[in-house]
Amino acid sequence: MKSHIMKIAPALFILAAFAYSQDPIEPPSALAGPELPKGFAGTFLRTDRSEKFIRETIEKLVACGTRHSLSPWTDPRRGIGCGRDRIVEFLNGVSKADAGQMQVVVDKFEATAPRTNNQPAPLENVYGILPGSDPALSKTAIVVSGHFDSMPSDIMDPHADAPGADDDASGTAVSLECARLLAIPDVVGAVFQYRATLVFAAVSGEEQGLLGGTRLLEYLKQHGYKVGAMLDNDIVGADFAPGGPHRVRVFSDGGADGEDSPSRELARAIEDIDGRDYVRLIFRSDRLGRGGDHLPFVKAGLAAVRFTEPLEDYHHEHQTPRVENGVEYGDLIKFLNIHFILDVALRNAFVLRELALAPAPPENVTLTGAITPDAKVSWSAGADPERAGFEILWRETTEPRWSRLTTASAPGELVLKGVSTDNHFFAVRSVGKNDARSIAVNALPGLPRKP
48-357 CATH = 3.40.630.10
Residues of the chain with pLDDT > 70: what percent? 88
- Residue 450 has a pLDDT of 52
- The pLDDT of 210-220, averaged and rounded, is 98
Nearest CA among 242, 44, 97, 83 for reference residue 171: 83
Asked whether the predicted pLDDT for residue 234 surpasses 90, the reply is yes
- The pLDDT of 282-289, averaged and rounded, is 92
Q: How far does Cα 84 stand from its chain's mean position?
A: 21
What stretch(es) of the chain map to CATH 3.40.630.10? 48-357
What stretch(es) of the chain map to CATH 2.60.40.10? 363-445
Counted residue by residue, the chain has a size of 451
For residues 13 and 107, which has the higher predicted lDDT (pLDDT)? 107
Kindly report the average pLDDT of the chain as a whole number: 90
- The pLDDT of 209-228, averaged and rounded, is 98
Q: Which residues pair with 389 in a beta bridge?
A: 431
SS3 (DSSP) at 339: helix
- Give dist(CA 317, CA 90) in Å, integer: 25
- Residue 19 has a pLDDT of 43
For residues 359 and 49, which has the higher predicted lDDT (pLDDT)? 359
Q: Does domain 363-445 have CATH number 2.60.40.10?
A: yes
Residue 185: count other Cβ atoms within 10 Å of its Cβ: 14
- Residue 1 has a pLDDT of 39
SS3 (DSSP) at 311: coil
Residues 6 or more apart in contact with residue 427 via CB below 8 angstroms: 260, 265, 365, 392, 393, 394, 402, 440, 441, 442, 443
- Residue 446 has a pLDDT of 84
